[in-house]
Structure 1
Amino acid sequence: MKIAIVEDDINMRKSLEIALGDYDEFDVKTFRNAKEALKKLDESYDLVISDITMPGMNGIEFVEALDGRYEVIIITGNATLGRAIESIRLGVRDFLTKPFEVETLVEAIRRSQKAKTRVKPARKTAEPRDGSIFYGSSEVLEKTLSLAIKAAKSDAAILLLGESGVGKELFARTIHDHSARSEGPFVAVNMAAIPENLIESELFGFEKGAFTDAVESKIGKFEAAHGGTLFLDEIAEMPFHLQAKLLRVLQERIVHRLGSAAGTPVDVRIVAATNADIKRKMLDQEFREDLYYRIATIPILIPPLRERGDEIIPIAERSLEEVVARYGLEAKEFSQEAKEKLVAYHWPGNIRELIAVVERAAILSDDTAISCDDLFLDARF
């Protein structure tokens, strides 16, 4: 198994290299930082072990740049709940806090190897049998959904608020599906995932020759969503200096592609979302107050999964069915003890974390009945 260790601390890097070098099954290569690793990683590597706090590019940015090409284990001496949740969102297999025993890391590596060898090539799964995009239901979810569907009937801008992983895009799609624009396109944009220098061209498009690499014209997300819904996820992460341009488009309903003096009328319904304290960002002058009132005609707060306990088992069971089908595994089910553990857990990463836990448990479980130990919840934040 070929492993890349990315660690800027020379003592930690050498210690891990020596410790893992004692295992014949591991072929270990080390890198001083993420940028160096990105230049040299190729398809021969099976696993990346990375620190979070590094100069130039931190571990979270590094994992995003890897884009799912490798199994990843994060190690850090500065663990925070936010970083753990972000790691889960990006598909990181394990999150270990320094100091840790070498045996703990070896166990994590072997879990990752076991997961990789167990799965068969993924295949597309069928849509939910009942046509619903929500896998479970609870009283608090139904109340929030009722508000969202009522708001969908108008053309008012909606701002979805809530923690990371609560299902904001599912709500946005539900709003679109219950609106008069349901036959039009639904275009989703994650503002936090677009490099700052590309946001303007992604949203508004560009003409051929507008900049060095503009070899042909391209429409932006606003034009792509014409007649439908534009979902602006992580809106609070939009750079402040670009917010005025977005506000102007929302007010005038006209976009100007980069490199063009002519404007193009657009007819879109805006649904935005954020997990940030957007009012605090306004007080700190990181988010424009006039833009907030433009996108938040109807604000809707989506409750976290810990307040929607009745949904946990239905979501877990439906996710388990999909994982089994996707990877061609034998049929599995949760033991009663595992179900109780799932319900009792606080789910800081919400639905996204639950789905990740189920996928890993399904792959690593040796039996048809998934046990508490297979969930590996005691080691999570």
Structure 2
Amino acid sequence: MKICIVEDDINYRKSLEIAFNDYPHYEIKSFKNAKEALKAIQTLQHTPQDFDVVITDINMPQMDGLQFLHQLEGKYTSIVITGNASVQNAIKAIRLGVKDFLVKGFSFEELIQTLENLKKEQEILGNHTTQGGKIHTKAKESKNSPARAEHKAKFFIASSPALEEAKNIALKVAPTDANVFLMGQSGVGKDVFANFIHTHSKRANAPFIAINMAAIPEHLLESELFGYEKGAFTDATSAKPGILEDAHGGSVFLDEIGEMPIALQAKLLRVLQEKTLTRLGSSKKIPIDVRFISATNANITQKITQGSFREDLFFRLQTIPIFVPPLKERKEEILDIARHKLQETTQKYGFAPKTLSKESEKALLSYPWYGNVRELLSVIERAVILSDDELITPKDLFLESRQRVFGSVGEGLGDFEGLEREFLAQALKQNDGDLQKTSDLLGMDINVLKHKKVHYGL
């Protein structure tokens, strides 16, 4: 990963350079001011030496960091570091698409973790790039190209009957424009399914943009989604299209949709009904063509009952509901995912090859995985880093301690049966209780559906 660092404080700049010496897989180029960096970037654009990530200070002479980022026009994934944090600067940085905002005094490991997360995101997306803090699909490969076929195969490391059931529904709905509602616990891979559906759709060569409703402050979310006109608010010095406009012709992934403020839900419902949107500060309606994929691990039925989520919006978004099962229901995948992560981690850190002992494999298969695939990946990475030998033992996995910590809250993190019951209840309601129609919609054997219906008292 090639990184551009822009920092006017020579001592701080040099300290970053020295710290990065311990991470040889990062290629660093530092600049003492934004103008110098901008000139170098303009020279390097469209060459193999171009940068993957830009890290910049804010308060600098001649051109400050925010002006610098504005000049880059969202073409680079960016991280801001500053010694004088302010809410106003943080808001401006978010509007410029900054991925992270770190206040000086942060640990260097925190910066490395941010970079590693960005790297993983890019690896998962394959032929996708991140721009302006949003995920965009590149439109450079034909639908039948070898590169595209290879990318499709990389979505899932392993398989299981439970995963195949969900994948089959996703493949059925992908070529249509029907809205999809992904349900499942945190960490099961709902974001991977959203990408999977988009990549197998007719919109695959158009933008795919993901937004996490829980990650953006409420007062900024409306402008991020719908865009704004010049003068719509104090800092709106020029007009800016929102995510829904940027995704025209493609797909939008609304992650953690259950956290969307109730006031914005009515506006999103109008977009779904009218296929138009109105920017902040404008009365002009702009036509849009967007396919919506939503996801939640929240109890939507409870939120509807409490009045914090609109029932009419829910039914619009969940034309096709897909339940992504938890990892404990997909045990056939555990060892393949673990081995893949083990090999990936040893290569990333330059370690000698390591393997899992038979006892470790048994421990992995018997652990309940409260955090699902995300927790499994974390456990394996930690074990690879901390283990002293080439053979990873159960002690290296640290699962017993995790069981004590998470076991008492497993119900809150998991609640698979609660989510599945809600999922089946909605499907049956949508089909007026018709078991055959519900079975066809879910891709579930009708006898299994009958058993679950009795089990959950539906």
Change (3 A) 1:70 1:309: farther
1:285 maps onto 2:307 in alignment: yes
The answer to whether residue 254 in structure 2 is matched with residue 232 in structure 1 is yes
Q: State the shift of 1:278 in Å.
A: 0.3
Displacement of 1:209: 2.1
State the match for 1:297 in structure 2: 319
Cα offset, 1:288, TM superposition:
0.2
The Cα offsets for residues 268-291 of structure 1, whole Å up to 9 and x where unpaired, read as 100000001101110111100110
State the partner residue of 1:246.
Answer: 268
- The aligned residue for residue 216 of structure 2 is 194
Counterparts in 2 of 1:139 and 1:329: CA distance versus 1, 3 Å: same
Post-superposition offset of 1:219: 1.5
- Aligned partner of 2:129 in structure 1 is none
Q: Deviations over 1:130-179 (max 9, x none)?
A: 83211110011111100111011211111000000000011111111111
**Quick check: 1:316 aligned with 2:338?**
yes
Measured after TM superposition, the shift of residue 71 of structure 1 is: 8.5
For structure 2, the 5+ residue unaligned runs are: 1-80, 84-99, 127-149, 407-458
Structure 1 residue runs without a partner (length 5+): 1-41, 45-63, 74-90, 93-118
Would the alpha carbon gap of residues 125 and 178 (structure 1) be closer, same or farther in structure 2, given more than 3 Å must change? closer
Instruction: Say if 2:280 is the partner of 1:258.
Output: yes
Which residue of structure 1 aligns with residue 229 of structure 2?
207
C-alpha contact 2:360 2:397 (8 A) present in aligned 1: yes
Matched, 1:367 2:389: yes
Matched residue, 2:416: none
Considering Cα pairs closer than 8 Å and 6+ residues apart, tell me whether 1 or 2 has the greater RCO.
1
Q: Shift in Å at residue 66 of structure 1?
A: 6.4
Q: Which amino acid aligns with 1:312?
A: I
Matches of 1:283 and 1:130, distance apart in 2: 39
Q: Would the alpha carbon gap of residues 299 and 262 (structure 1) be closer, same or farther in structure 2, given more than 3 Å must change?
A: same
Q: Is the 8 A contact 1:159 1:299 kept in 2?
A: yes
Higher helix share: 2
- Residue 129 (structure 1) shift: 8.7
Alpha carbons of structure 1 residues 72 and 196: separation in structure 2 relative to 1, 3 Å: farther
Change (3 A) 1:72 1:278: farther
User: How big is each residue's C-alpha offset from its partner over 1:277-322, in whole Å with a ceiling of 9 and x where there is no partner?
Assistant: 1011101111001100110111111110000000011111111222
For the structure 1 residues 131 and 145, does the alpha-carbon distance in structure 2 shift closer, same or farther, using more than 3 Å as the test?
closer
Relative to structure 1, the CA distance from residue 125 to residue 261 in structure 2 (aligned partners, 3 Å threshold; closer, same or farther) is closer
Specify whether residues 43 and 332 from structure 1 end up closer, same or farther in structure 2 by C-alpha distance, changes over 3 A only. farther
Summarize deviations over 1:225-260 as a string: whole Å, max 9, x none: 111110000000101111101111111111211122
Q: SS state of the match for residue 192, structure 1?
A: coil
Give the alignment's TM-score, normalised by structure 2: 0.56
Please list, as runs of the form range in 1=range in 2, the aligned pairs for 1:1-381 lying within 5 A after superposition.
70=107, 131-380=153-402, 381=406
**Contact 1:125–1:326 (Cα < 8 Å) also in 2:** no
Per the alignment, residue 61 of structure 1 pairs with: none
Query: Residue type matched to 1:221 in 2?
Result: I
- Opposite residue 196 of structure 1, the aligned amino acid is E
Q: Could you tell me how far apart the structure 2 residues matched to 1:296 and 1:228 are? A: 18
How many Å separate the matches in 1 of 2:194 and 2:187? Answer: 13
With over 3 angstroms needed to count, the CA separation of the structure-2 counterparts of 1:71 and 1:358, relative to structure 1, is farther
Q: Percent identity?
A: 51
Contact between 2:180 and 2:322, CA under 8 Å: does it hold in 1? yes
CA distance in 1, matches of 2:203, 2:82: 44
Q: In structure 2, the residue corresponding to 1:165 is in which secondary structure?
A: coil
Report the Cα distance in structure 1 between the residues aligned to 2:123 and 2:243, rounded to whole angstroms: 28
